[in-house]
Structure 1
């Protein structure tokens, strides 16, 4: 792939400090997002997906209008008991896919504002930060489905 650069534009950009020596902004991919449907009265649920980035990046924040609080969590074995704990970020090593899934890393929606109905579309915003502190925000919509069902191929969403 060949790139043509207009010299006066390049010179102006470099002089203004807008030229990045480190290269292009990393693009995070979000695939197969889904949120677990809930039963009446349930106050929390999880969000799951596949995340990847061509450079070392981390998911540092998630937000959604469906709940009062949204956190990143992981499940860990401690004293022969599986425990869930909040973590400040989920690392995405360069070129690897990180799966957010039940029993592992996930996004936790806490103090739900309403029941999450199977088949409903759940909006969320994900914020990522690379090793240079550059942030990328991605807005997605994830289908709600029961925990026992497999992701549907028609809900494949990539960013």
Structure 2
């Protein structure tokens, strides 16, 4: 009986947020930064804490807001998810900034991106590079 309880607990710990429509904005070859977007659905309460990828020296979670009639973008520490919630990382909203691109990206290329979640740990996902 104890073994079943431990196994059930292990299944909960293995629950991973699901990513759909994961993409990176194609920029001109000399651009130093770009943005990444996705729809993330979590079956359990969780929080996206950090992002890493080999194509950028730095990756930050950002939010675009409208303040006094002006759009501004700022880094945020994390993005919280409630159980069953889908958070859309999108242009002019919450998104991932990839800063200090290490090389030019090609349309259609798939780029591995590591997402670190507070509860479910680190996940690797492929983001497809394309024009908006």
Residue 118, structure 1, aligned to residue 79, structure 2: no
Structure 2 unmatched runs, 5+: none
Q: Any runs of at least 4 consecutive aligned residues in structure 1 with deviations exceeding 2 A, and if so which?
A: none
Distance 1:51 1:19 in 2: 24
Q: Give the match for residue 28 of structure 1.
A: 17
Give 1:40 deviation, angstroms: 2.1
Q: Give the match for residue 136 of structure 1.
A: 121
- The structure whose residues are more often strand, as a share, is 2
Structure 1 residue corresponding to 2:64, chosen from 72, 75, 78: 75
Distance 2:71 2:96 in 1: 17
Q: Give the match for residue 106 of structure 1.
A: 95
- Which SS does the other structure have where 1:24 is aligned? helix
TM-score, L = length of structure 2: 0.89
- Which SS does the other structure have where 2:12 is aligned? coil
For the pair shown, the structure with the greater C-alpha radius of gyration is 1
- Which SS does the other structure have where 1:54 is aligned? coil
TM-score, L = length of structure 1: 0.75
User: Over the residues paired in the alignment, what is the CA RMSD in angstroms?
Assistant: 2.3
The total of aligned residue pairs comes to: 131
